[in-house]
Amino acid sequence: MRKKAWLRTAAGLTAAALVLTACSQKENTGTSENEGASTPSAGWPETAVPELKEGKKGGTFQLAITEPTAIDPYNAQESEGILVATQLFVGLTTVTYDGKTEPGVADDWETNDDCTEWTFNLKTGTKFHNGEEVNSESFKRGWERVAAKDSASEVAYHLDGIEGFDEMQAGTATALSGVDASDPAKLVVKLTDPNCEFYIRTSHTVFSPMPSTAGSPATNTAFVDQPIGNGPFMMDGPWQHDVGIKLKRFDDYTVQDPAYLDTVEITIAPNGSQDEYAGFQNGTFDWARMPTPVLQQARSTYEPQGQWITRNTNGMNYLLTMVTQKPLDSAKARKAISLAIDRDSIINGVFKGSQTPSTSLIPPVFTEAYQEGVCGDCHYDLDEAKKLAKEAGLTEGTELTFQFNVDAGHEEWCAAVKDQLETNLGLTVNMNGVQFTDLLNNEQQPGASGIYRAAWGADYPTPGNFLEPLLSTGAIGAEDNEPVTGDNRGRYSNKKFDDLLADALKEKDDAKRITLYQQAEKIAIGDDQALIPLWNRTQHRLANTKDFINVRMDFHEDPDLRVISTK
């Protein structure tokens, strides 16, 4: 009998485990007891931007970033790289924290009637960190350094449209034929197509001037790790990869008011926002991003102390829709999808209320162009969604592809969207998380259908930088049976929309141009629902306002280091 003792024990334990768990599956409903999770409306308000006060020289500002690709403007691309490049260099124009274009090295600029030739009048006497004077030749040199084939810049395409660019990329020319620097105080740029917004483009760091010592980034790699620029800060020693970057104030900076801070220490933290947050908590860093899960508690701790910054920035999160393929080849179908997504509950449940639902493609940061509610179907309306779905043939069990890129924090809200589409419309959503390059590749294929997680941020502060690359016919860059080569991977194509954009680029008057953009957005988003806006890009930061004044977030979501000062 003893022999079977262990068997009996096993059976007993199994039975106990069975009893412990309930006999039938329960409905997963009910709300949580913790406050805040079910607040009715989503989104936290923007915090006030501090008025600039007179500062004093001195002090060290500490922050952390993840390792950037490059800090040399020729290849600086992500927010971290741009952060450093913006401190080291200043171009013809600059962007203010709220997205206005202001004079930089260029005092003013003019253009011919069809906006194909631009003349920038430069400030004289401004200097590089090594004392060399900044003149029109410096700009020509910098731009050619980016356009040169040898440099293999991944962001060279910003220069597309300048005469001679294609030849340089092909390696058949060594100079930009469209850039004339014969007068040191005047830079004349010829464009291949009209662009009345070209001056806005030149605020991007890729348009930075370069001193004569820069050389080619392919050969002079020392310069790439320790660039000599003309910005308010200069490198204090070379970039220590995976360790940190040290900047010090450039005292001869005359393009704008010089900086107050003596030094800026940028620590490279492998763990990203988790490290930044922990470092802010223990007083190491004066500026920090935060991982999404802690936003709620961090806000309740730091907002009362005035150390919290919330801003809507120049980005948009949306669902890319394949508008030429079933089942989303009709505006009704796309609207049904949009109406079936309960943005508020996702924002409250997954993002703890930290995002703002979006009702347009052009985000509110473009105060003049922003049209709240231009997407009339960017809200949750189950009845309407069901009605439109029925009309569009989105029947029960219709299969819908939904892909997103993994390891970037999208798992949870994408799972929530899938769940809502299945529950609300009865669709069969084939959700698939893939690597980002695979996502891109899948989106580009001719037969691609369904919805894809997407986000877009503007490179320069103009609404056109949303509409043109994402939705213009030209940005498909391929025939129907070829993979897309541009950023319009949904293959939306509308003649009227394209014409409005073309007109906008030929319109010299800012206000009229914006009206044209608004009309275009109304067609693509309001009428055609060419893509499905989800929520605005809202950014939250912790800022040490106890020891520093003038701490604000710039257009690239980084601290505006030039104006920060110790108390």
Partner 1 sequence: MGKFVIRRAAQAIMVVIAATMLLFLGLFVLGDPFASTGDKVVPPATQAILREKFGMDQSVPMQYLTYLGNLFTGDLGIDLNQRRPVADMLGVALPNSARLALIAIIIDIVIGVAAGIIAAVWRYSVWDVLVTILTTLAIGLPTFVIGVWLRQTVSGFWIFPQVPRTFTELAPWYTEVLLPAFTLAIVDAAFIARLMRGSMLEVLRADYIRTARAKGLGERTVIMKHAFRNSIIPVVTYIGISIGVLLGGAIITETIFQYNGIGFLLYRSILQQNQPVIMAIVTYAVLAYVALSMIVDILYAYLDPRIRLS
Partner 2 sequence: MTTTPDPADTTTSAQSVIVESAHADPFAPPEGETKGKTKARGQLADIWRRFKRNKLAMVGLVVVGILIVLALVQPFISPYDPYDQNLLNTLASPGGDHIMGTDALGRDLYSGLLYGLKLALLVGVSTMLGSMFVGVALGALAGYRGRFSDGIIMRVTDIFLAFPYLIGALLVVRTFGSGVTQVIIALVVLGWPTAARLMRGQMLALRESEYVEAARSIGASDWRIVTRHIMPNAIQPVFIYSFTSIGVAVVAMASLAYLGVGVPPDTPEWGRLINQGIEQVQVPGKDYLWIFPSLAICITTLAFAFVADGLRDALDPKLR
* Residue burial 283-321, b: 16+ Cβ < 10 Å; e: rest: ebbbbbbbbbebbbebbeebbeeebbbbbbbbbbbbbbb
Determine if 442 is a binding residue for partner 2 (CB under 8 A). no
Instruction: Answer yes or no whether residue 21 interacts with partner 2 by CB under 8 A.
Output: yes
Q: Which residues between 273 and 302 bind partner 1 (CB under 8 A)? A: 275-276, 278-279, 281-282, 284-285
Task: Choose between 146 and 501: whose C-beta lies nearer to partner 1.
Answer: 146
103: contact with partner 2 by CB under 8 A: no
C-alpha to C-alpha distance for 95 and 199, rounded to whole angstroms: 11
Sign of the CA dihedral running 163, 169, 170, 176:
positive
Q: Which of 13, 52, 185, 222 binds partner 2 (CB under 8 A)?
A: 13
Q: Is 437 an interacting residue with respect to partner 1 (CB under 8 A)?
A: yes
Burial of 416 (0-12, 13-18, 19+ CB in 10 A): middle
CB 524 within 8 A of CB 530: yes
* 288 binds partner 2 per the rule CB under 8 A: no
Q: Does 224 bind partner 1 (CB under 8 A)?
A: yes
Reply yes or no: is the peptide bond before residue 327 cis, omega within 30 of 0: yes
> Binds 114, which of partner 1, partner 2, none (CB < 5 to 8 A, cut-off by type)?
none
Residues recorded for the chain: 567
474 belongs to the binding site for partner 1 (CB under 8 A): no
How many CB atoms within 10 Å of residue 46? 14
557 binds partner 1 (CB under 8 A): no
Residue 172 makes contact with partner 1 by CB under 8 A? no
Taking CB within 5 to 8 Å according to partner kind, which of partner 1, partner 2, none is near residue 244? partner 1
Spatial neighbors of 468 by CB under 8 A, at least 6 apart, are: 474, 475, 501
Per CB under 8 A, does 300 bind partner 2? no
Residue 462's CB is within 10 A of a number of other CB atoms, namely 25
Of 49, 50, 77, 186, the one binding partner 1 (CB under 8 A) is 77
Helix (H, G, I), strand (E, B) or coil at 538: strand
Question: DSSP state, 103?
Answer: E
Q: Given the rule CB under 8 A, which of 52-60, 76-84, 273-281, 458-466 is the region that contacts partner 2?
A: 273-281
Q: Does 2 bind partner 2 (CB under 8 A)?
A: no
Based on CB atoms, which residue is closest to partner 1, 166 or 368?
Answer: 166
Site membership for partner 2, residue 415 (CB under 8 A):
yes
Residue 163 has what DSSP assignment?
T
Closer residue to partner 1 (CB): 175 or 478: 478
Among partner 2, partner 1, none, what binds residue 111 when CB lies within 5 to 8 Å by partner kind?
A: none
> Is 509 near partner 1 (CB under 8 A)?
no
What does 404-466 look like in DSSP terms, one character per residue? EESSSS-HHHHHHHHHHHHHHH--EEEEEEE-HHHHHHHHHSTT--SEEEEEEE-SSS-THHH
Among positions 383-412, residues that touch partner 1 (CB under 8 A) are 407
One-letter amino acid at 3 equals K
Amino acid at 35: E
Both tokens of 157, joined, read 């395409």
Given candidates 348, 358, 493, 538, which one binds partner 2 under the rule CB under 8 A? 348
- Token output for 232: 């308010």
Interaction between residue 455 and partner 1 (CB under 8 A)? yes
464 binds, among partner 1, partner 2, none (CB under 5 to 8 A by kind): none
**Helix, strand, coil shares, percent, the chain, to 5:** 30, 20, 50
Residue 411 touching partner 2 (CB under 8 A): yes
153 is an interface residue for partner 1 by CB under 8 A: yes
Element (H, E) at 107: strand 106-111
Which of partner 2, partner 1, none is residue 412 near (CB under 5 to 8 Å by kind)? partner 2
Q: Which does 432 bind (CB under 5 to 8 A by kind): partner 1, partner 2, none?
A: partner 2
Q: 199, 207, 456, 535: which one contacts partner 1 (CB under 8 A)?
A: 456
The DSSP output letter for 524 is I
Residue 291 binding partner 2, by CB under 8 A: yes
Contact pick of 9, 60, 182, 300 for partner 2 (by CB under 8 A): 9
Contact between 179 and 162 under an 8 Å Cβ cutoff? The reply is yes
- How far is the CA of 68 from the CAs of 85, 142, 271, 317, in angstroms? 11, 21, 13, 23
Find the binder of partner 1 among 146, 269, 417, 514 (CB under 8 A).
269
Q: How many residues bind partner 1 (CB under 8 A)?
A: 60
Whether the Cβ atoms of residue 564 and residue 50 lie closer than 8 Å to each other = no
Angle in degrees, CA 115, 116, 122, rounded to 5: 85
Q: Give the one entry of partner 1, partner 2, none that residue 285 binds, where binding means its C-beta sits below a cut-off of 5 to 8 angstroms depending on kind.
A: partner 1
Single out the segment in contact with partner 2 by CB under 8 A; choices: 98-106, 169-177, 246-254, 343-351. Answer: 343-351
Instruction: Name the segment binding partner 1 (CB under 8 A); options: 100-108, 151-159, 193-201, 359-367.
Output: 151-159
Question: Which is it for strands 451-457 and 548-549: parallel, antiparallel or unpaired?
Answer: unpaired
Select from 15-23, 200-208, 356-364, 492-500 the region that touches partner 2 (CB under 8 A): 15-23
Q: Which stretch binds partner 1 (CB under 8 A): 7-15, 192-200, 432-440, 545-553?
A: 432-440
Contact of residue 275 among partner 1, partner 2, none (CB under 5-8 Å per partner type): partner 1
**Bridge-based pairing state of the strands 428-434 and 399-405:** parallel
Binding of residue 6 to partner 2 (CB under 8 A): yes
CA–CA separation, 192 vs 176, rounded Å?
A: 12
Quote the CA–CA distance of 77 and 361 in Å, as a whole number.
23
C-alpha 98/C-alpha 365 separation (Å) is: 7
Q: Is the distance from CB of 310 to CB of 46 less than 8 angstroms?
A: yes
41 binds partner 2 (CB under 8 A): no
- Interacting residues toward partner 1 by CB under 8 A: 62, 64, 69-70, 75, 77-78, 149-150, 152-157, 160, 166, 169-170, 217-218, 221, 224, 240-244, 246, 265, 267-271, 275-276, 278-279, 281-282, 284-285, 407, 435-438, 440-441, 444, 454-457, 469, 477, 485-487
